Amino acid sequence: MDEYPIHQAPLPVTWAVSSDRNVYDRCYLMAHDRSGEVMVISGLGYYPNLGVKDAFLAVRRRTQGRDETTVVHLSDLIDDDRLRQGVGTYSIDVVEPLQTLRLTLADTEGISADLTWTGSYPVVQELPHVMRAGSRVTLDAQRFAQVGTWAGTLTVDGEEIVVDPATWVGTRDRSWGIRPSGEAPPAGAPLEPAFDGMWWLYVPLRFDDFAVVLIIQEEPDGHRTLNDCTRVWPDGRREQLGWPRVQIRYEPGSRTATSATITCTTPTGDPVVLEVDSLLAAPLHVGCGYGGDPDWAHGAWRGPEFAERLTYDMASPEVQGRLMFGMVDHVGRAVLREEGQPDRTGWGLFEHGVLGRHDPSGFADWFTLAP
């Protein structure tokens, strides 16, 4: 890489420009067949200041007699060859930049995959995402996102699942910057004010004619710190869809979303309404390593050539007790309504989490549940 004119700082490519321990470069990939019976979530991350690279692939299935998530974790020492993205038996090859990827997992603990991603529309560069805790920067990241289709095969314990691009859709993103990773650092002085919660919504959707990518974050009082909603067409045209108004509905006695009404606005002031339903829920903090997952933390040192498989009974009290404390990815089905146009049906990701207090939602503290 150092042979090419790509440098952004007076450093070799493998040296991070910041000494922050939380420097990272990671991708996320999601796939489903629109049935609400199966969902695949995967990711690969490099953490140069921690000396670690890792990956995971989770299969979430809910069919008659089965309600489980099974996941493979892989971790190893970081290396300098950033053009060959891989950890152990897991690799991601860039076939055509910003358009086509190939994800492969050789048989590991009974799970293997050979999946090809094809972007349906150009990638969307999202707004920079910055979070602070007091004076400390806890997140400073840039990300691009894309919707598309998947093709190939997935095998779990000898059962082969054919991934047909006619039905298998999904979303992927790549982000980099600073984000909490690895083992917890020394705490320092207590935060003032203490962290009281956050509200998050991420909805990238694929329609036949265009894609919509929405990302919103709010503080406990409802103050919006991140607002980005973009519609993109095949020729690369982009349209900002304003300041969306959002109504989330939850399962009674929980914080697990069931559906949402999202009212966006075109630049000319016309409403664009998304009615989004959840067909299958997969909590990211149960095996996927996000948001305080006790079993798997991105960037944590597990030793060289580490690999394991874990399986979770999603109906168990232990798993159900975690759900309100993290982000949940849903198989998303959406209907888009726009004046003068026929209703359009889209598919993709409906990711939502409401942690702690959120006044607009009626959650007064960390333990309030939906009526």
Note whether 71 and 39 are within 8 A (CB): no
Task: Give the pLDDT of residue 65.
Answer: 84
pLDDT at position 19, please? 94
**CA–CA dist 235, 303 (Å, integer):** 46
pLDDT of residue 71: 98
Whether residue 140 contacts residue 202, with contact meaning beta carbons closer than 8 Å, is answered with no
d(C-alpha 145, C-alpha 122), whole Å = 9
- Homologous superfamily of the 23-180+196-361 domain (CATH): AttH-like domain (2.40.370.10)
Closest listed residue to residue 336, CA positions, set 278, 264, 268, 267: 264
Spacing of C-alpha 157 from chain mean position: 26
Neighbouring residues of 130: CB distance < 8 A, sequence distance ≥ 6 = 137, 139, 140, 141
| pLDDT score of 189 | 84
Residue 140 pairs in a beta bridge with 130, 178
Alpha-helical segments (H) within the chain: 317-320
Over the chain (371 residues), the average pLDDT of each successive run of 10 is 88 92 97 98 97 98 93 96 94 97 98 98 96 88 97 97 98 96 85 88 98 98 97 96 98 97 97 98 97 94 97 96 94 97 98 97 96 95
Pairing of strands 129-133, 124-125: unpaired
Structural element, H or E, at residue 335: strand 328-338
Q: Are 28 and 173 in contact (CB under 8 A)?
A: yes
Q: Are strands 85-87 and 90-96 parallel, antiparallel or unpaired?
A: antiparallel
Backbone angles phi and psi of 360, in degrees to 5: -60, -25
Q: Which pLDDT belongs to residue 190? A: 82
**What's the confidence (pLDDT) of residue 192?**
77
Sequence-separated (6 or more) residues with CB below 8 Å from residue 337 = 272, 273, 275, 343
Amino acid (one-letter) located at 216: I
Q: What is the pTM of this model?
A: 0.96
Which helix (H) or strand (E) segment holds residue 317: the answer is helix 317-320
What are phi and psi for residue 143, nearest 5 degrees? -145, 145
CB 61 within 8 A of CB 86: no
Classify the C-alpha dihedral 306-20-201-46 as positive or negative: negative
Quick check: helix, strand or coil at residue 219? coil
Inter-residue contact 108 to 305 (CB < 8 Å): no
